[in-house]
Amino acid sequence: MFGSLVIAGSKASPEFAGRLESPNADEYKIDVVRVVGDRLLILRNDDIAEATPQFDRQVRALGIEGQSTIRNLRVGIVGAGGTGSAIVEQLIRLGVGNLVIVDDDLVTPATIARGYGSRRDDIGKTKVELLARLAGQVNIDTQVDSVFGNIQNEMVALRLRHCDVIFCCADSHGARIVLNRMAYTLLCPVIDVAILISSSDKKVTGIDGRVTWLAPGTSCLLCRNRIDAVLANAESLDPLERRRLAGQGYVPEIEDPQPSVVPYTTLMASFAVTELLNRLFGFSSVEPTEVIVRLLDRHISVNRVPARVGCFCDDRAFLGRAKEAPFLGIAWVK
């Protein structure tokens, strides 16, 4: 496949024309160009459709072009728990056209306390099917690709290949290792969301949330010490094997489920979706790549840290190599 692309216009308002040609001389016009880095710019050459009345108030803030950009997005969400389901709820109501939702969990009684789209009679169903049902019930034309599986499985990870942006709302460090590489190999920004409720002597001592923007030109989760490689390895073990090794002190014990409360997961979901709107439309400075919310102190801060020398995230030759085997350069467990 050969291609040509001409970019003109100004930095604030770029224009393009391009085409691809296959070896048997079939020609394809390039309709969309995605520019990733501190911003996520989606340039389109097709006509902008009028927004439907449901989005009237939103168009007053984002404009018809902005609404059209949202309508044409394909967004991945990994993890359909408290934070992930709240993000999906917001993306549906924003009018995002396509969602790919990945989760390998079933609804339990504890899901109902914070899972958007869930009801008491859903226990035993998959979380992804509830969110597909939610999109259908809201019925403003969001197509959902529900993927019941673990992101650490190559076939599951491949389902996210054509997303414009991915939200990481998974609990596990192993999932973060996969998505951390995806941001750079697929040239697809990942918005990583985490929340930690700390307690001591039955007293809450901290409620801390984090939203991190991962994209070419920014440092990855490893450079930021946001992934624990020992825990990621322990998570990948068979539960019996993990218990045996934990007994010998080789790996951490399996922890009880972490505390989680719906206003906090919903708040961090809103911070994460706000980050997407900011990167799409440049509403505020895009220089910081992480937002930290310390709820007990009612304090919000931002930061940007440099990549570590030698990390893949700082290696331009690593960017965009999604077609090379193995996918993402990971040794996948079969």
Using CB under 5 A as the binding rule, whether residue 220 contacts Zn ion is answered as: yes
Under a CB-based contact definition with an 8 Å cutoff, are residues 197 and 222 in contact? no
Q: Rank residues 178 and 207 by Cβ distance to Zn ion and give the closer one.
A: 178
Q: Rank residues 107 and 223 by Cβ distance to Zn ion and give the closer one.
A: 223
**Beta carbons within 10 angstroms of residue 290's beta carbon:** 20
Using CB under 5 A as the binding rule, whether residue 179 contacts Zn ion is answered as: no
Q: Rank residues 92 and 223 by Cβ distance to Zn ion and give the closer one.
A: 223
Using CB under 5 A as the binding rule, whether residue 313 contacts Zn ion is answered as: yes
d(CA 1, CA 323): 13
**What six digits make up the tokens of 112?**
């109902």
Q: Which stretch binds Zn ion (CB under 5 A): 11-19, 87-95, 108-116, 302-310?
A: 302-310
Q: Which stretch binds Zn ion (CB under 5 A): 68-76, 137-145, 237-245, 311-319?
A: 311-319
d(CA 118, CA 109): 10
Q: Rank residues 157 and 223 by Cβ distance to Zn ion and give the closer one.
A: 223
Q: Which stretch binds Zn ion (CB under 5 A): 30-38, 145-153, 196-204, 219-227?
A: 219-227
Query: Helix count (H) and strand count (E) of the chain?
Result: 8, 13
Q: How far is the CB of 163 from Zn ion (least distance, A)?
A: 21
Q: How far is the CB of 177 from Zn ion (least distance, A)?
A: 12
**Beta carbons within 10 angstroms of residue 262's beta carbon:** 14
Q: How far is the CB of 280 from Zn ion (least distance, A)?
A: 24
**Could you tell me how many residues of this chain bind Zn ion (CB under 5 A)?**
6
Q: How far is the CB of 184 from Zn ion (least distance, A)?
A: 8
Q: How far is the CB of 230 from Zn ion (least distance, A)?
A: 18
Q: Which of 144, 157, 194, 223 binds Zn ion (CB under 5 A)?
A: 223
Using CB under 5 A as the binding rule, whether residue 87 contacts Zn ion is answered as: no
For the purposes of burial, counting CB atoms within 10 Å of the CB of 136, is it exposed (0-12), middle (13-18) or buried (19 or more)?
A: exposed
Q: How far is the CB of 303 from Zn ion (least distance, A)?
A: 15
Could you check whether the bond before residue 53 is cis, i.e. omega within 30 degrees of 0? no
Q: What is the DSSP letter of 126?
A: B
**Beta carbons within 10 angstroms of residue 214's beta carbon:** 27
Using CB under 5 A as the binding rule, whether residue 311 contacts Zn ion is answered as: yes
Using CB under 5 A as the binding rule, whether residue 123 contacts Zn ion is answered as: no
d(CA 317, CA 185): 10
**Sequence-ordered list of residues with C-beta below 8 angstroms from that of 220, at least 6 positions apart, any chain:** 180, 183, 184, 214, 307, 311, 312, 313
List of residues contacting Zn ion (CB under 5 A):
220, 222-223, 307, 311, 313
